[in-house]
Amino acid sequence: MKKVIYLSGGSGMVGRNIIDHIQSQDYKILTPKRSELNLLKYEDVKNFLNQNKPDLVLHAAGVVGGIEANIDNPVKFLVENTQIGINILTASKETKIKSFINLGSSCMYPRNSNNPLSEEQILSGKLEPTNEGYALAKIGTTKLCEYINSEDNSYLYKTIIPCNLYGKYDNFNNNSSHMIPAVIKKIHEAKKKNLQFVEIWGDGIARREFMYASDLTDFIYFAIKNFNKMPQNINVGIGKDYSINDYYKKIASIIGFKGEFKNNLSKPIGMKKKLISNQKLKEFGWKHKTSLEDGIKKTYEYFLKMEEEKK
């Protein structure tokens, strides 16, 4: 008999990649749309879980966006992500669901902590102001998983903390996309318009770690298969970071943009460095498969396909 997984956020980038990867003979995945299940309403969440009795809840839903979106909407990012996290966790516990995977974020780590960032550094310092609301919500959900487990260790409520993600089903919206999809679109349009320059926010020296999204879903599948052995909180990344300037150059090379870059020093840059430790990940026995170049090529191919479908 197939095990049943309830996946929140099934229409997002991570959720859609999870469905592609995990929907198999082993699992039946429930992915109600927002119009079918409002995660901001506790009773609705509890009733859904009571009716469907999933073997595992995989929580990937949330309000997400890049630096600009976080700066412009801190109340929404804090309140809605916190409310969703509390509702889905407490409803899962009340309906006696014993296995829960929560997707955290590397933005939960303090802005000035030593890199690589280990799971024990959560709550050890001040957060990055540009996405503080989102980070606080993610920390709250992560701690609630820990508290539920500490009160009754038969409830395996654990958190995966991925590095920045990109890939198939990414969001290329000008106002809400993350860095790699935003840069792909920007450089694609610059090439199309024969522009001589592309602007980079800040000095471009800040460093980021990005993983291809289907690699994360490969890890999630691995984690489900080995759930008892998975640590309470575990970073999932590639163990290497690159500067913002490096990403622009790599993307330009793949797209074939021959122009130059201008750094706009008046723009915010976020944390200067955010490389997560992969020590526990190595001990758990998993490693990413997709190189940065291959991941960007696949993401650009997906972007071109989406552009073609708009015509």
- In DSSP terms, 262 is beta-bridged to 199
Classify strands 164-166 and 210-212 as parallel, antiparallel or unpaired. parallel
Sequence-distant (6+) residues with CB within 8 A of 136 are 78, 82, 127
Spacing of C-alpha 21 from chain mean position: 16
Catalytic-labelled residue, pool 109, 134, 212, 248 = 134
Classify strands 207-208 and 242-243 as parallel, antiparallel or unpaired. antiparallel
**Distance set, CA 268 to CA 25, 122, 242, 264, 276 (Å):** 46, 23, 18, 9, 22
Is there a catalytic annotation at residue 166?
no
177 sits in the region (left: phi over 0; alpha: psi -120 to 50; else beta) called beta
Residue that the structure tokens 């679109």 belong to: 185
| Residue 263 parent element (H or E) | strand 260-264
Active site residues: 134
